[in-house]
């Protein structure tokens, strides 16, 4: 038994190191100077230049330890790249309304599916699950057509409105509500509380971990939007940081990547206990 436990810890340690290694490389490389980055990553070997003259290209020289530690990348990024900061706030303007809208829409919908009794409830919920399993690329065309009909194509609403109606939030919160004793709801209704009051005062405080899990998972997903901004946004000035990151200067790419993943990492570190508890109680494997 002890041998199995030791092997499990070793395997988990190896996996943790493998997952953390790319993050460590990005973090340490963000402390390199632009000159060092140019030397290490300036001209990569590609199929086109592999047989060219010697010295024209070289393989990337990845290192965890920079030759000299400097904060030049961060200084140039935050104080010398106004466009980067603008794209950062574009990402906030997309992710924040979608996350807030998902919570506002998903909680009442999950409550209706779990606590209410109406005909064809399970059939409608089954359609929700099927839609959740449909790949994003399949739903882009219908969303584009609807955006054209609503004359919101080219605006952030074309991305925000479909994101707010994501079925994943309804599924996650309803799975959590299955563990909620109906006695609480029935007692509140006997005292004269309506559905809205029960939802706000009784149910919502009890599924706080599920809401926290939805908040974090939804934020991470919508912070990394790529396909939707490329398709729906026509104005380059409105594109989020997730799209602009591939266009940034190579000497700043590591600092830009660190700054880009910082909000998601901070949110996860702050609420990881809520997320784990919410996922466990929801029964998602």
Report the SS3 class of residue 192.
Answer: coil
246-273 tens-digit pLDDT: 888 777 888 899 999 999 888 888 877 7
In sequence order, the 6+-apart residues with CB closer than 8 A to the CB of 55 are none
With 80 as the cut, is the pLDDT of residue 167 above it? yes
Query: What is the pTM assigned to this prediction?
Result: 0.82
Helices 253-282 & 208-223 angle (0-180, nearest 10): 150
Domains and CATH numbers, the chain: 2-70 (no CATH), 81-282 (1.10.3720.10)
Structure tokens at 49: 């230049």
Retrieve residue 244's tokens: 């602009």
CA distances from 80 to 35, 77, 88, 129 (A): 17, 6, 14, 46
pLDDT for 211 beyond 70: yes
Angle between helices 72-80 and 34-41 (to 10 degrees): 110
Averaged over 191-212, what is the pLDDT?
79
The answer to whether 113 and 178 have CB atoms below 8 angstroms apart is no
* Residue 238, CA distances (Å) to 9, 95, 102, 154, 247 in order: 46, 13, 22, 9, 15
Interatomic CA distance for residues 99 and 261, integer angstroms: 17
Positive or negative torsion for Cα 223, 229, 232, 237: positive
Of 123-137, 151-165, 182-196, the poorest mean pLDDT is in 182-196
pLDDT tens-digit readout, 33-60 = 877 887 777 654 445 544 554 445 556 6
Which residues touch 240 (CB under 8 Å, ≥6 apart)?
A: 87, 90, 91, 94, 225, 229
The more confident residue out of 73 and 187 is 73
* Burial per residue of 156-192, b for 16 or more beta-carbon CB atoms within 10 angstroms, e otherwise: bbbbbbbbbbbbbbbbbbbbbbeebeeeebeebeeee
Q: pLDDT by residue (tens digit) across 129-162? A: 888 888 888 888 889 999 999 999 999 999 999 9
């Amino acid at each position: 038994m002890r041998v199995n436990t030791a092997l499990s810890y070793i395997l988990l340690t190896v996996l943790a190191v493998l997952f953390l290694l790319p993050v460590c490389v990005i973090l340490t490389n963000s402390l390199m100077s632009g000159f060092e980055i140019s030397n290490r990553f300036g001209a990569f070997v590609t199929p086109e230049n592999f047989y060219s003259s010697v010295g024209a290209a070289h393989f990337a020289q990845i290192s965890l330890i920079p030759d000299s530690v400097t904060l030049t990348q961060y200084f140039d990024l935050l104080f010398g790249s106004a466009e980067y900061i603008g794209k950062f706030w574009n990402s906030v303007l997309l992710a924040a309304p979608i996350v807030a809208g998902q919570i506002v829409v998903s909680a009442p919908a999950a409550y209706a599916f779990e606590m209410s009794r109406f005909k064809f409830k399970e059939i409608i919920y089954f359609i929700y699950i099927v839609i959740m399993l449909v790949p994003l690329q399949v739903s882009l065309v219908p969303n584009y057509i609807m955006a054209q009909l609503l004359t919101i194509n080219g605006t952030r609403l074309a991305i925000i409105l479909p994101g707010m109606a994501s079925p994943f939030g309804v599924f996650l919160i309803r799975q959590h509500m299955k563990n909620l004793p109906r006695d609480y709801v029935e007692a509140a209704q006997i005292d004269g509380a309506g559905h809205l009051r029960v939802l706000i005062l009784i149910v919502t405080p009890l599924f706080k971990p599920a809401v926290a899990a939805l908040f974090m998972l939804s934020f991470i997903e919508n912070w990394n939007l790529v396909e939707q901004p490329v398709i729906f946004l026509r104005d380059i000035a409105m594109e989020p940081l997730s799209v602009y990151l591939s266009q940034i200067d190579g000497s700043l790419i590591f600092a830009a990547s660190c700054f880009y993943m910082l909000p998601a990492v901070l949110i996860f570190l702050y609420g990881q206990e809520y997320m784990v508890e919410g996922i466990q109680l929801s029964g998602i494997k």
